[in-house]
Amino acid sequence: MASHQKKNSSGRLASFQISAALAGFALILCLLVGNSLATTVDAGPDVDLRWPARRIVISLSSSLQETSPAIMRGSNVRTALESALKSWSSAANLSFEIIETDQTNVSPAGSSGDGVNLITIAGSAENILFLSTHGPRVPAATRIFYDRRGRITETDIVLNPSELFSTNGAFGTFDLETVLLHEIGHLLGLEHSDLPFASMYDGIARNGILGGLMAYGRELSDVDVAMARTKYGPPDGVNDCCTSLTAKILTGQRRPAINEKVWLEESLSGRLVSALQTDRSGVVRFEALLNRMPNSQGSRFPK
Ligand SMILES: [Zn+2]
C-alpha cells in the first residue's frame, strides 16, 4: 500500500491511496455473479480500440421494433436504447443517431463487416451461432470490427432471443437498458472493469436475482466515465476532467509488481474510482479521472 499525491493541470492537489490487491480477488467476484455479458474482440491486449469519428450511427433492427417473445409486453425498447446512449454521450465527447432497419443478422466474423452498427434480437442462425460461442445463457454479445490501427469500423450487438428482457424491472427478466448500457460500452471499444459496481463489469443478474451482489444498474459509474473519457475526452463544456496519475508498484523485494491489479481509491471519500493492471515495469497509469478532489478554497467536493 502506498500514498501518492500529484498536482493536476489546474493546480489542485489530488490525493489518492493506492493498494495492490491480490490477483485472486477479481476471480472470486466473477464466480458470484449471474450471467456473463459477452464480447468478441479479437484485438490483442495492446490494441487500443476506438471510433475515429465522434458521431456514431446505430441501426435498430426491425426484430426489436416488432413484437418479440424475448421482450416483455409493454416494454419501450426505443426509450431504453436512447437512455443508454445518452448516458455515454453525457460521459464523453460522443453523439449518436438511431436509424431503423430491416436487417436482422450480425455480420459474420471476418476482417470487415457491412459497416452497419446493428442491434438485433432476431433468432436467426447467424445470431444464434454467434451467441453460442459465448456460452448457453449469455444475455447479449457484441462483435467488433476494426482496422490495423485499432479504429473501429463496425459493431453489432446481439440480444439473446431465448432470454426475456424488460424495461419495468419485472422479476426474473434482464433489464434491457442495463444490458444495452454495457454492450454499448463495448461498441465504444471499452473492455471489462473488475469493479462490480461498474457498468462494464462482466456479469449481470436478472432483476431480483442475486441483485444484492450487483451494484450497477442504469447509471454509469465514475470508472465507466473515466474509461470512456480516456478514449474520447469529456463532452464540450465539462470542467471536472481530467486528472491523471502514474504509479510504480514494487514488491517487498523492491522488484516491479508485474500484472498486478491496482485499485484506486479517493482517500477522503473512500470511493473506488478505478482498477487497472500494472505493466511489465510495474507501472500503472490512471487517466481521465474526475476532479472531485478537495481544492484550495476548502470546499471538500467541488461538484
Ligand atoms: Zn461485456
In tens, the pLDDT along 164-212 reads: 999 998 888 999 999 999 999 999 999 988 888 899 988 888 887 765 4
Of 176, 194, 226, the last residue of a domain is 226
Do 80 and 216 have their domain in common?
Answer: yes
Strand partners, 243: 289
Residue 267 within any structural domain of the chain = yes
Do 207 and 241 have their domain in common?
Answer: no
Top pLDDT among 284 and 107 is at 107
Gap between the Cα atoms of 184 and 188, Å rounded: 6
Using only C-alpha atoms, the chain has a radius of gyration, in whole angstroms, of 20
| Percent with pLDDT over 90 in the chain | 45
Do 106 and 254 have their domain in common?
Answer: no
Do 216 and 276 have their domain in common?
Answer: no
Residue 31 within any structural domain of the chain = no
Strand partners, 166: 175
Q: How confident is the model at residue 135 (pLDDT cuts 50, 70, 90)?
A: confident
For residue 146, what are the domain limits? 36-226
CA 40 / ligand 1 centre spacing (Å) = 9
What cell numbers appear for 268 in the block? 477522503
Do 275 and 250 have their domain in common?
Answer: yes
**pLDDT single digits (tens) 223-270:** 999 999 999 999 998 887 887 878 888 888 888 888 887 877 777 777
Top pLDDT among 64 and 42 is at 64
Helix (H) or strand (E) holding 80: helix 77-91
Q: Does the pLDDT of residue 297 top 50, yes or no?
A: no
CA 218 / ligand 1 centre spacing (Å) = 15
Residue 295 within any structural domain of the chain = no
CA 11 / ligand 1 centre spacing (Å) = 36
Residue 298 within any structural domain of the chain = no
Calculate the dihedral angle through the C-alpha atoms of 30, 85, 188, 216, rounding to the nearest 10 degrees.
Answer: -20
CA 156 / ligand 1 centre spacing (Å) = 13
Q: Does the pLDDT of residue 33 top 60, yes or no?
A: no
What cell numbers appear for 111 in the block? 476482417
Please give the tally of structural domains in the chain.
Answer: 2
Do 83 and 45 have their domain in common?
Answer: yes
Give the pLDDT of residue 99.
97
Can you give the CATH number for the domain in which 134 is found?
Answer: 3.40.390.10
Q: Residue 250 in 3-state DSSP?
A: strand
A 10 A CB-CB count for 93 gives 15
CA 191 / ligand 1 centre spacing (Å) = 7
Mean pLDDT score across all residues of the chain: 79
Residue 154 within any structural domain of the chain = yes
Residue 302 within any structural domain of the chain = no
- Give, in order, the Cα–Cα distances in Å from 84 to each of 81, 109, 149, 195, 248: 5, 26, 28, 20, 36
Q: Return the exposure string of 264-297: e unless at least 16 CB atoms fall within 10 Å of the residue's CB, then b.
A: bbbbeeeebbbbbebeeebebebbbbbbbbbbee
CA 298 / ligand 1 centre spacing (Å) = 40
Q: How confident is the model at residue 32 (pLDDT cuts 50, 70, 90)?
A: very low
